[in-house]
Structure 1
Amino acid sequence: MLSDRLVPPYSALTVVESTGSTNADLSAAAAEGAGDRTVLIARAQTAGRGRRDRSWVSPGGGLYCSVLLRPDEVPRERLGTLTVVAGIALVRACADLGVTAHLKWPNDLLHGEAKLCGVLAEASGDAVVLGMGLNIAALPPEIPSGAGGLRHTSLEDAGAESTDHEEVTVRLLTELDTVERAWREAGGDLAACGLLEEYRRCCHTIGKRVRVERATDTIEATAVDVDATGQLVLDDGRAVSAGDVVHLRWR
C-alpha cells in the first residue's frame, strides 16, 4: 500500500481517483490546520491550475501530487525557492527511472524539448502548497501545447524503466523528502545546502537566448545564471522573479 511506503517520512497521504485541484484541496485543508508534510495525490484533475491561474490539463494516467509544507525554520522570503527544490527532486526521480530530464526556468521539467511536468507553489496562510503534475502515460494527441508552444511528453514516451503509478510516486516523494529536508535544515539557503549548484547544472535555460513574458512587459535577453533567491539573471543585469520563458534557441 502506498501509504505504508511513504508514511513516514510524510505525516499523512491520501490518494483519490479524481478531484478538481489537489492544490486547492490542500489549501483548504491548510486553513483547517492540516499538518506539515500532508500529501494529496490524484490520478486525474478536473480543474487543475498552473501559473497565472491557467487551466492545467490533467487527464487520467498522470501523477497529480500536492504536498502541504509548514517549514517554520525557513524565513518567509525564501519560501519561493521551493520550486527549485521540487525541480531537483523531479530531475532525480526521472534519473532513478532511467530518463534524462532537465529544467526550464521557472517551473517546467523537460525531456528534450518537450514538457514532462509543471510545478506550482502557492502560499496558504502560514503554509505552502507545492503541486506537481507529472505525465506518466502517453497523453492523448488532442492535448494542446503549453505556454509558448511547448509541447508535452511523458515518462512512457521517454522510455522510463517503470510507468507504474505507485512506483513513480514513491520515487518522486522519496527524492522530494531528501531534497526538501536538506533545504529546510539550511533555513532555505539554496547555496548552503548545495542545491543552487545542482539546479544550475540541471537548468537548460542558463546560456539560452530567451523571451520572458511578464504581466507588464516582454524581455528578450540571454539568461546567464539563477541566483540564490531563485531569480533568473539576464545578461543586461536584470534579475527576473516571475514570468513565462520561451527558449529562442537550443544549445
Structure 2
Amino acid sequence: MDAATLRDRLVGPYAAVDVVASTGSTNADLRAAAGSGAPDRTALIAGEQLSGQGRRGRGWVSPTGGLYLSVLFRPVGVPAQRVPWLTLLAGVALVRTAADAGVRATLKWPNDLLVGGAKAAGVLAEVTADEAVVLGVGLNVARLPADVEPGAGGLAPTSLADHAAAPVDRTELAVSLLRQLHDLEARWRGLAGDDPALREEYRAHCATLGHPVRVELARGVALLGTARDVADDGTLVVRDETGADHPVSAGDVVHLRVR
C-alpha cells in the first residue's frame, strides 16, 4: 500500500493516518493510543496482523494481502445507547466499498460482509477507558491460503479477489473504505446517532432479515427462529416458532438452510 497516497487523500477527514507493514493488532495499537490522547478520527492501516482479534475473544486470521485497519472515534454528543450503531454503520461502508470494487455483497447481522454466501470481512468495536471507540475492520482482499478455517457456525471464508472481475488495488480500496466510513459516521454523529436513512440502508443490505436463523447466545444457549427486523437500537429481532419476538443484542448468527 502507498502510505504517502493514503495520507494525501485521507488526512483532512481524518486527523492522522498511519500505515505499517505489520503489527500485532491495529485495535490494540489504537486502544493504547487512545490512552495517550490520540485525537478523534485517527486511523491505522496494517499490511498484516500477527494477533488479529475477532468477536467474542476469537482470533482473526490476517494474512498478507488483506486490508486491516482501525479508526479511533470520540463520538461526542451521541448517547451511549446509540453507539453500537457504529459497527452496523461500518457494515454499510463495507458493502459500498465492495460495490466500488465491482463486487456485490450483503451483510450478516451485525456486520459480517458476505459475498456469495461466504465471509469476506468482519468488524470489531471496543470502547476504551475514556469512552472513545476503536473500530476495527478486517477485509480479505487477495485470494486466501488454503488452510484458512471456516468461521463461527461453519461460515466459509472468501475474498474480493475471488469475485472481482479485475485486480483490486489495496490502496484504492483503503481510500474507498475510509471515505465511506467517514461520510456515514459524520452524518450519523451530526444526527446524534439517530439516522433513519442509515437504518433503512442497513436493512436493505442485511441478508439475515427474513431468514431462518440459529443465534448462539452466551452459556451455550441457542435461539431458533426467523430474523424479522433490526430495531432502531441495532438489536436483531428474532421470532420463534411460538410467535414470540426476542431482541438479540449479541450472539453468533447462523443462517439456516431454507427447507
TM-score, normalized by length of structure 1? 0.97
Q: What is the aligned length? A: 249
How far did residue 161 of structure 1 move? Answer: 4.0
Q: Aligned runs of 1:1-251 on 2, under 5 Å?
A: 1-125=5-129, 126-159=131-164, 161-191=166-196, 194-216=197-219, 217-235=221-239, 236-249=244-257
Deviation readout 1:213-249 (Å, 9 max, x if unpaired): 0113110010000011110001221100000000002
Q: What is the one-letter code of the residue matched to 1:199?
A: Y
CA distance in 1, matches of 2:165, 2:175: 15
Larger mean CA deviation between 88-97 and 158-167 belongs to: 158-167
Aligned-pair distance for 1:48? 0.5
Q: CA–CA distance in 2 between the matches of 1:83 and 1:250?
A: 28
One-letter amino acid matched to 1:244:
D
Q: Is the 8 A contact 1:162 1:168 kept in 2?
A: no
Superposition deviation, residue 85 in structure 1:
0.7
Superimposed CA distance per residue, residues 12-63 of structure 1 (whole angstroms, 9 cap, x where no aligned partner): 0101011000000000000111000000000100100101110111000000
* TM-score, reference length from structure 2: 0.94
Indicate the SS of the match to 2:83. Answer: helix
Helix, strand or coil at the partner of 1:156: helix
Amino acid at match of 2:150: S
Question: Quick one: distance in 1 between partners of 2:80 and 2:40?
Answer: 16
Return the letter of the residue paired with 1:119.
V
Instruction: Judge conservation of contact 1:136–1:163 (CA < 8 Å) in 2.
Output: yes
Contact 1:73–1:184 (CA under 8 A) maintained in structure 2: yes
CA 250–129 in structure 1, closer or farther in 2 if over 3 Å, else same: farther
Deviates more, 1:98-107 or 1:161-170: 161-170
Q: Classify 1:85/1:145 alpha carbon distance in 2 versus 1 (closer, same or farther; 3 Å).
A: same
Query: Residue 146 of structure 2: SS of its match in structure 1?
Result: coil
Q: Which runs of 5+ in 2 are unaligned?
A: none
For residues 161 and 76 of structure 1, the distance between their equivalents in structure 2, rounded to whole angstroms, comes to 42
Provide, for residues 64-97 of structure 1, a one-character-per-residue CA deviation record: whole Å limited to 9, x for no partner: 0000000102111211111111011111111111
Distance of 1:70 and 1:133 partners within structure 2:
21
RMSD, aligned CA: 1.2
Letter in 2 for 1:229: D
230-239 or 197-206: bigger deviation: 230-239
Corresponding letter in the other structure for 1:215: A
* Structure 1 outlier segments of 4+, above 2 Å: none
State the 1:149 CA deviation: 0.6
Percent identity between the two aligned chains = 58
Question: Could you say what secondary structure the match of 2:185 adopts?
Answer: helix
1:190/1:228 contact within 8 Å kept: no
- Give the CA deviation at 1:121: 0.7
Aligned-pair CA distance for 1:150: 0.6
